[in-house]
Every structure is written in structure tokens, then in C-alpha cells.
Amino acid sequence: MHFRKYILFFLSLFIISASIAQQNITAQLMGKWEATDSDGITGSLNFIDSVHIIVSIPNQSLTEGTYLVDTSKDPMWFDITFKQGKIVLVMKGLIKIINEHAIKWQISTEGERSETFRQAKTDNVIVLKRKV
């Protein structure tokens, strides 16, 4: 009987710590992050709250969406979901907070998410700087 209580206690602690970690990461991401590529084109991620994001990519029609960060992974899994009518697009990727002024983001272009950041010819690893 005591064993069950210990298991439930430790399980509760784990769930609480995971929730706190998620909230901490979300708080660190809040705000606008920008990057400019080698062609001088600027894009951004604007984390509005713990769920909503605005993505600014030149020549793209999808901008507002929702996001989910899996803090149990390293680097963290980062998914953005866009909805247009009945069409749902999920952009899978990775994200890592480098410091309070920079984040690293990778979009999975092959459909399956990479487990680590990979620099490929497609140049899909982006370092964004916090916009003040």
C-alpha cells in the first residue's frame, strides 16, 4: 500500500516539473524573433502567447497558427499548425534556445523530423535574434 503512495507521489512530482518546464520555455520564447538570409530577405516568428504564433516568411500565404513545444526532447520538438478552412498544415521542426537573445530553428522539409539539427544544402537551420 505504501509503495502505491510513493509511486503516485513521484508521478505527481514528475508531471508538475514537466508542466513548470513547459511554462518556463514558453515564457522565454514570448515576443518577436527575426532572421535575415544571405539574399537579404527577413522573416520572423512572433510568439503571441503560449499557443499562438505569427510566422512571417516572404511570399508565403500562411501566417497565423498555433504551436506546440515538446520540452522533453533535446533539441525540443517544435510544431506549428496552420489552418485555412478545412486544410490543415503542420510544419514540424526543432527549436533550441541559445540564449536570451537567440534561438535556433529548423524546419523539417523531408516530412520526417530530424532528431538533431542538420545543416543541409537547403539551409533550413535558422538562427533568429530577439527583436526589441
- What is the CATH number for 86? 2.40.128
Identify the domain containing residue 86 by its residue range.
Answer: 2-130
Buried b (16+ CB within 10 A) or exposed e, 34-67: ebeeeeeeebbbbbeebeebebeeeeeeeeebbb
Q: How many CB atoms lie within 10 A of CB 111?
A: 6
Q: Structurally, how many domains does the chain consist of?
A: 1
What does each of the 132 residues of the chain score in pLDDT, given as a tens digit? 556 666 665 555 455 444 445 557 888 999 999 998 777 888 899 999 999 999 988 777 668 999 999 988 999 999 999 998 899 989 899 999 999 999 999 888 777 788 888 766 555 788 999 997
121 three-state secondary structure? coil
Full-model pTM: 0.75
